[in-house]
Amino acid sequence: MTDGEGVLRWGVIGTGGIAHSFLEAMQETPTGRVTAVGSRSAGRAREFADAWGIPVSHGGYAELARDEGVDAVYVATPHPGHHPHTLTCLDAGKHVLVEKPMAMNALQVAEMVAVARSRGRFLMEAMWTRYLPAYRLARDLVADGMIGRLCSLSAEFGISVPFDPDHRLFNTELGGGALLDLGVYPLALATDFLGELTVVGATRQLSPDRMVDTHTTVLARGEGGVSATLSCASRSTMPGRAVLVGTEGWLELDRTWAPTEVAVHRDGREPEVFHRPYRGNGYVHEVEEVARRVAEGRTQSPDMPWSESLRLARLMDLVRDVGGFVDEGAEAVAG
């Protein structure tokens, strides 16, 4: 399903900040164009459409899913909406790119995958980091043995946001908490390089109202016994690096969530630094991945397949169980 020129026609569900970032990315690629936007508020949908020159706006998500001028939908609503809104779009025959985390828990992700499989539609979690040039280079260097056999991995992502119970990072109804919103980056990096993770321990700090986690650290063990230390925070800024240590040196990414530089340190040698900037705001790379795989008739991306989203969701569930977290998941399914 594309227009007559092979261009993927996108619809966008949600009109928040991440939706604006998606539209910025769409200006950088000829592979697709946004033809419709949907919001719970018709006025907000129209305002967003006018701002970006989108021809059609819908005052409802189901209406956008039924739009015959849309081939693929980007789900950009808060976390609790990812599951129901994705199912609505898949049931309507649309391909879906859904923001991370894919859903609030592994059970929801499993249902989304099952529906995508039954409908024969493309579905991908928007783990944009995996499609960035620097990240791809790091993966290739490690696979080629540049730093020898992996021994350990550390990654972190922390930002400082003043506490506000209505802010999405602190509001349980919006799927708040550092783990789901920010921790998904270091955890996804670890599962990519280390495979299935066993959670050895997890610590957390809570928001002032004790409703969500604001600082979480996970100690895990990957395949082959490789250790991983993974941290995230919503009320304190972290350096944001990812470091992979091997038997013959170490590799460092300048930013866990959006790297542009890879530094390789090997014993007795000067560090090798590789600069690999991304295009635009970086989201264009995952947008083009969706267009490429849909054109090939695939339903998954080999770099972020359904099995990986399931593994990541199970890992986050396990971290919350081990750390004794407030259960932000089951109570927010309806969205």
- Tens of pLDDT, residue by residue over 94-150, are 999 999 999 999 999 999 999 999 999 999 999 999 999 999 999 999 999 999 999
Residue 291 pLDDT: 97
Residue 334 pLDDT: 27
**Backbone Cα Rg of the chain:** 20
pTM of the model: 0.93
Q: pLDDT grade, residue 305 (50/70/90)? A: very high
Strand positions, DSSP E, 91-224 = 95-98, 123-125, 150-158, 198-206, 213-221
User: Which residues are identified as catalytic?
Assistant: 100
Alpha helices (runs of H) in the chain, residue ranges in sequence order: 17-26, 42-52, 61-65, 79-91, 106-119, 133-143, 178, 184-194, 284-295, 306-323
Distance, in Å, from the CA atom of 148 to the CA atom of 153, rounded to the nearest integer, reads 13
Residue 267 pLDDT: 83
Q: What is the pLDDT of residues 194-223, one digit of tens each?
A: 999 999 999 999 999 999 999 999 999 998
Q: pLDDT grade, residue 27 (50/70/90)? A: very high
Residue 324 pLDDT: 72
Distance, in Å, from the CA atom of 323 to the CA atom of 44, rounded to the nearest integer, reads 39
Percent pLDDT > 90 in the chain is 92
Distance, in Å, from the CA atom of 186 to the CA atom of 191, rounded to the nearest integer, reads 9
Q: pLDDT grade, residue 6 (50/70/90)? A: confident
CA atoms lying within 13 Å on the CB side of residue 53: 5
Distance, in Å, from the CA atom of 254 to the CA atom of 243, rounded to the nearest integer, reads 9
Residue 323 pLDDT: 67
Contact call for residues 187 and 315 (beta carbons, < 8 A): yes
Compute the C-alpha angle 258/263/266, nearest 5°. Answer: 150
Rounded average pLDDT over 316-335:
59
Would the pLDDT of 332 be above 90? no
Would the pLDDT of 158 be above 90? yes
Burial tier of 226 (Cβ tally within 10 Å: 0-12, 13-18, 19+) = buried
Enumerate the CATH 3.40.50.720 domain ranges in the chain, comma separated.
8-127
Which amino acid is located at 194 in the chain?
L
Cα-flanking dihedrals φ and ψ of residue 80, to 5°? -60, -20
Rounded average pLDDT over 226-243:
97
Contacts of 237 (CB under 8 A, 6+ apart): 158, 159, 160
CA atoms lying within 13 Å on the CB side of residue 96: 34
To the question of domain 8-127 being in CATH 3.40.190.10, the answer is no
Cα-flanking dihedrals φ and ψ of residue 230, to 5°? -130, 130
Distance, in Å, from the CA atom of 275 to the CA atom of 186, rounded to the nearest integer, reads 21
Would the pLDDT of 331 be above 50? no
Residue 5 pLDDT: 60
Contact call for residues 82 and 104 (beta carbons, < 8 A): yes
Q: Are strands 227-233 and 272-275 parallel, antiparallel or unpaired?
A: unpaired
Enumerate the CATH 3.30.360.10 domain ranges in the chain, comma separated.
133-277+312-330
Fold of 133-277+312-330: Dihydrodipicolinate Reductase; domain 2 (3.30.360)
Q: pLDDT grade, residue 327 (50/70/90)? A: very low
Q: pLDDT grade, residue 268 (50/70/90)? A: confident
Q: What is the mean pLDDT of the chain?
A: 94
